[in-house]
Amino acid sequence: MKHPNSNNRKTNRRRFLSYLVGLAGLLLVGLVSVPMAALSLFPAFKRRKETWLDIGPLADVVLGDPTAFTYRYNNRDGYLDQLIRGTVYVVAENLQSFTVFSNICTHAGCAVRWEPDKQVFYCPCHNGMYNINGQVAAGPPPRPLDRFPYKVVGGRILIKIKGA
């Protein structure tokens, strides 16, 4: 003969187990979704490596004139391996302290080039212009040219980049 409380116990056990399963599910969802949400809301949390990239010898810098240096490196982002090429301009009055400018226009990302006749960095996309100090001189660029942190090691210029 069945005990009168046995059905009750079974129901209670079933209910308890379903609570446990529900709780485990919630925990799992939380474990996955919280970091994903943090990454999408705050991309700065994504770990992006910073690398010092050798762009060339200090001896190649022409004092008083922006000197173009080209670079290339492989950028690894997850499974993606991408060849990155770029150009920077070194503007130096002396070789102890100088500025390394990105050649990417701050308006819409076109490449600027130094125009010695006009003494400006010129962007052909929308006639943007920057003076030798990277400040906007004309056109639509909203801010000065970006600068790279740099250091000189063994007579070579290294710039700090994200990725690689």
88 binds ligand FES (CB under 6 A): no
108 binds ligand FES (CB under 6 A): yes
Among 66, 86, 134, 141, binds ligand FES (CB under 6 A): 141
Q: How far is the CB of 145 from ligand FES (least distance, A)?
A: 10
Say how far apart CA 145 and CA 22 lie, in whole Å.
Answer: 54
Give residue for tokens 């008083």: 64
105 binds ligand FES (CB under 6 A): yes
- φ, ψ of residue 153 to 5 degrees: the values are -130, 120
Among 52, 75, 132, 140, binds ligand FES (CB under 6 A): 140
**Non-local CB neighbours of 103 within 8 Å, separated by 6+ positions:** 68, 86, 87, 88, 89, 111, 112, 113, 121, 145
Q: Rg of the chain over CA atoms, in angstroms?
A: 29
138 binds ligand FES (CB under 6 A): no
Q: In the numeric block, which tokens belong to residue 35?
A: 């970091």
Residue with Cβ nearer ligand FES (125 or 137)? 125
Which window, 42-50, 71-79, 102-110, 114-122, contacts ligand FES (CB under 6 A)?
A: 102-110
125 binds ligand FES (CB under 6 A): yes
- φ, ψ of residue 12 to 5 degrees: the values are -60, -40
95 binds ligand FES (CB under 6 A): no
Give residue for tokens 């226009």: 105
Say how far apart CA 66 and CA 52 lie, in whole Å.
Answer: 21
Q: How far is the CB of 138 from ligand FES (least distance, A)?
A: 9
Query: Which residues make up the interface to ligand FES (CB under 6 A)?
Result: 105, 107-108, 110, 123, 125-126, 128, 139-141
